[in-house]
A = this chain, B = another copy of it.
Amino acid sequence: MASVSKENYLKIIFYLKQHDVKPVSTSEIANELEISNAATSEMAKKLSESGLISYKKYKGIDLTPKGKKVALGVIRKHRLWELFLANVLGLSWAEVHDEAEKLEHISSEKLIDKIDEFLGFPEFDPHGDPIPKKNGKLPKLTGLVKLSEGKVGGIYNVIKVNDLDNELMNYLTRIGVKLYKQIEIVEKLIFDKSIIVKIDNHNINLSEKIANSIYITQLKNAELN
């Protein structure tokens, strides 16, 4: 079994690979994990020797099928724990990520499958991210765009939220943003790329950074009236 560090490297590589076709560079990983490039280069050598990534010096990194399997296993644990902590034990969606970041590395396959079963084999975690199935399949999220990319006048559903910052999560809770909530885009300011949205009949201004952390789908016209 891979160490905590190695599992975290593999997980990050998987994330970085999702939006890009090119191999992942060591510095991108270093950035994400907040460690030095040097440490990442060393680790790349080791993960490559274990057959978890393919790595050519100066040419970047890709997960091998074996490495991808490990990464998906860790992500599965992470997201199932998050949902369990939120739905069963009543932690807020702001709190679950940090706990899950540790739990993902220590819980056995068997325990995770019990949790999966207990929750009724759910598809999405408390932030809207898809939960990998036991067989490695990842439920699809289609038609997602960032709130910042929505159109003025459009009415949308919140489908997914960036779960990496506690303060953001707490703020979103405070202003009424949660999964599947309806949001209307009232106005977009060119000046600072902030965006004014209507939530629960209140207007509120969201910064560009916040609007980039919220993912939405447009309601079909039929659903609107």
Interface residues in chain A, defined as those with a beta carbon under 8 Å from any beta carbon in chain B:
85, 88-91, 95, 99, 102-103, 106-108, 110-111, 114-115, 118
In this complex, what residue of B is CB-closest to A106?
Answer: B102
Q: Report yes or no: B99 in contact with A108, Cβ–Cβ below 8 A.
A: yes
Q: Report yes or no: A85 in contact with B103, Cβ–Cβ below 8 A.
A: no
Q: How many copies does the complex hold?
A: 2
Report A108 CB to chain B, min CB distance, Å.
6
| CB contact between A114 and one of B90, B102, B118 (< 8 Å): that residue | B90
Report A18 CB to chain B, min CB distance, Å.
27
Report A143 CB to chain B, min CB distance, Å.
35
Q: Given the complex of chains A and B, what is the CA–CA distance between A111 and B92 in angstroms?
A: 11
5 of the cross-chain contacts (CB-CB < 8 Å) are A88-B88, A89-B111, A89-B114, A99-B111, A103-B106
| CB contact between A106 and one of B90, B95, B106, B115 (< 8 Å): that residue | B106
Q: Report yes or no: A99 in contact with B107, Cβ–Cβ below 8 A.
A: yes
In this complex, what residue of B is CB-closest to A108?
Answer: B99
Question: What are the residues of chain B within 8 A of A90 when measuring CB–CB?
Answer: 114
Q: Given the complex of chains A and B, what is the CA–CA distance between A99 and B109 in angstroms?
A: 11
Q: Given the complex of chains A and B, what is the CA–CA distance between A85 and B110 in angstroms?
A: 11
In this complex, what residue of B is CB-closest to A118?
Answer: B89
Report A73 CB to chain B, min CB distance, Å.
16
In this complex, what residue of B is CB-closest to A96?
Answer: B111
Question: What are the residues of chain B within 8 A of A88 when measuring CB–CB?
Answer: 88, 118
- The 3 closest A-B CB pairs, nearest first, are A102-B106, A89-B114, A99-B111
Question: What are the residues of chain B within 8 A of A99 when measuring CB–CB?
Answer: 107-108, 111
Q: Given the complex of chains A and B, what is the CA–CA distance between A39 and B152 in angstroms?
A: 66
In this complex, what residue of B is CB-closest to A95?
Answer: B110
| CB contact between A111 and one of B91, B106, B110 (< 8 Å): that residue | B91
In this complex, what residue of B is CB-closest to A102?
Answer: B106
